[in-house]
């Protein structure tokens, strides 16, 4: 079995990507070596300053640690758990799974006590567990809404994988439940903390690219096993768009720096047996922004070598390729290559989320429920544009 850069079951052919170089923050020597890479790294790294300062001064972090239980112990959860071993502000302390045979190895590896292990029937009891602050939901998309609402009602902060829910209605219900339970709702948008991505956003905000005219987002891979949940409409909520196309939707918003006001979209299907009714194989979509900028994007489950963002402005351009895989992300602008150090995305994400939850830190690009809802509204509009063949206007 072969997995792509996102750890998803794909054909052998799909394994083309660069192997992620894991850079653990607790390796001070690696960190300092990376620091010498480029002067341009310094402003970006300053956004990760607390951890850097600790690495340099070797002062241990004394603040509050986000104690996290992971729900759903599949392939992405495994990656998140491993990355969290290098966190200084977040720690894996609990697990929720419907497969009891997984408990032992996870408990042993992460030193998780029996009292912090739950299944899908009894996890509401987490309410009575003072040793868990947040639950990170890493289950199939179709389960996110109900699980997030139950976690919120149990009084714990919710971190939910993308897509936050199956549609905007689900997203709104999740936001309402977290609001009424007075807990935070965050979405696992790891790219919002990635250094190359943030450098391009800085350049765009400071006018270095001039007026933004165009964005292109190409997101896709050739999916393998036809029986996996990603090809099941109930569990996935669609097809490639819900899984990988969402990176282009989300990326177009943070790269252009505006919210789209209209959508057009076209679907093509070459394999209606594998991609059943309601499971999209390939969708091309276009977004229009208030400034007049436009985005042209591709979401697919039937092509490899598609992981590229391109942003064009009147004064310059910025490119990321790969743009959303697990890294290293590679960036280039009209001024030359971006040489920012690779830090395991999920390590940075979870440390940042700890600060967002406990210190109300405001990240450069939001990762809250409202952010997840914006993407879901656009995806709803893309599906509507596919069905009707019409341009769909987006309203707030």
Least distance (Å) between residue 3 CB and ligand NAD: 9
| 138 touches ligand NAD by CB under 6 A | yes
Q: Which residue shows structure tokens 């971190």?
A: 159
Note whether 145 binds ligand NAD by CB under 6 A: no
Cα separation, 34 vs 14, whole angstroms: 30
Classify 148 as helix, strand or coil: helix
Cα 162 to chain centroid, rounded: 6
Is residue 140 within the footprint of ligand NAD (CB under 6 A)?
yes
Task: Decide if residue 76 touches ligand NAD (CB under 6 A).
Answer: yes
Interface characters, 3-42, with ligand NAD (x: CB under 6 A): ---xxx----------------------------------
DSSP 4: -
Candidate segments 73-81, 195-203, 263-271, 304-312, binder of ligand NAD by CB under 6 A: 73-81
Least Å distance, CB 366 to ligand NAD, is 16
Q: Which residues sit opposite 265 in a β-bridge?
A: 285
Assess 139 for contact with ligand NAD (CB under 6 A).
yes
Rama region for 238: left / alpha / beta (φ>0; ψ in -120 to 50; rest): left
DSSP 242: I
- In angstroms, what is the minimal distance from the CB of 9 to ligand NAD? 8
CA-closest candidate to residue 278, choices 328, 234, 224: 234
Angle between helices 144-153 and 168-180 (to 10 degrees): 10
Q: Does 171 bind ligand NAD (CB under 6 A)?
A: no
Whose Cβ is closer to ligand NAD: residue 89's or residue 190's? 190
Report if residue 188 touches ligand NAD, rule: CB under 6 A.
yes
Minimum CB separation of residue 145 from ligand NAD in Å reads 12
Q: Which residue is nearest to ligand NAD (CB)?
A: 74
- Beta strands 134-137; 66-71: pairing state: parallel
CB-CB contact of 238 with 280 (8 Å): yes
- In 3D space, the residue among 94, 188, 92 whose CA is nearest the CA of residue 139 turns out to be 188
Q: Among all residues, which ones are annotated catalytic?
A: 162, 247
Q: How far is the CB of 35 from ligand NAD (least distance, A)?
A: 26
Q: Which is nearer to ligand NAD, 333 or 354 (CB)?
A: 354
Please state the closest distance from residue 337 (CB atom) to ligand NAD, in A.
Answer: 24
Largest CA distance in the chain: 59
Residues in the interface with ligand NAD (CB under 6 A) total 23
Alpha-carbon distance 326 to 359, whole Å?
27
Interacting residues with ligand NAD between 227 and 246 (CB under 6 A)? 229, 235, 243
Interface residues toward ligand NAD, by CB under 6 A: 6-8, 72-77, 98-99, 138-141, 143, 161-162, 188, 190, 229, 235, 243
């Amino acid at each position: 079995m072969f997995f792509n850069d996102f750890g998803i079951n794909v054909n052998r052919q799909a394994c083309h990507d660069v192997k992620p170089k894991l850079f653990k923050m607790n390796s001070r020597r690696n960190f300092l070596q990376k620091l010498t890479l480029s002067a341009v790294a310094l402003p970006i790294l300053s956004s990760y300053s607390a951890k850097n300062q600790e690495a340099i001064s070797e002062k241990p972090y004394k603040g509050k640690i986000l104690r996290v239980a992971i729900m759903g112990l599949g392939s992405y959860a495994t990656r998140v758990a491993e990355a969290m071993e290098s966190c200084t502000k977040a720690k894996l302390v609990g697990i929720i799974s419907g497969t009891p045979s997984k408990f032992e190895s996870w408990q042993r590896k992460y030193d998780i006590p029996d009292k912090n292990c739950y299944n899908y029937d009894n996890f509401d009891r987490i309410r009575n567990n003072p040793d868990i602050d947040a639950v990170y939901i890493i289950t199939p998309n179709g389960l996110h809404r109900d699980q997030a609402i139950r976690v919120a009602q149990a009084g714990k902060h919710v971190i939910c994988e993308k897509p936050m829910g199956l549609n905007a209605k689900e997203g709104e219900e999740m936001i309402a439940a977290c609001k009424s339970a007075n807990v935070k709702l965050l979405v696992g948008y790891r790219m919002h903390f990635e250094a190359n991505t943030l450098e391009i956003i800085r350049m765009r905000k400071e006018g270095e690219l001039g007026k933004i005219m165009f964005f292109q987002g190409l997101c896709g891979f050739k999916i393998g096993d036809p029986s996996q949940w990603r090809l099941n409409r109930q569990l996935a909520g669609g097809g490639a768009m819900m899984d990988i196309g969402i990176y282009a939707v989300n990326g177009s918003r943070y790269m252009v720096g505006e919210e789209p006001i209209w959508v057009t979209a076209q679907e093509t299907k070459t394999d209606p047996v594998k991609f059943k009714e309601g499971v999209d194989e390939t969708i091309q979509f276009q977004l229009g922004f208030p400034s007049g900028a436009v985005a042209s994007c591709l979401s697919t489950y039937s092509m490899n070598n598609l992981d590229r963002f391109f942003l064009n402005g009147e004064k310059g351009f910025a490119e990321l390729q790969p743009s959303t895989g697990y890294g290293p992300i590679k960036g280039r602008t009209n001024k030359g290559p971006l040489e920012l150090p690779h830090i395991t995305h999920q390590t940075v994400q979870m440390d940042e989320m700890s600060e967002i939850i406990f210190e109300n830190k405001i990240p450069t690009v939001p990762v809250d429920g409202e952010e997840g809802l914006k993407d879901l509204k656009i995806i709803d509009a893309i599906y509507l544009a596919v069905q009707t063949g019409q341009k769909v206007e987006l309203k707030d």
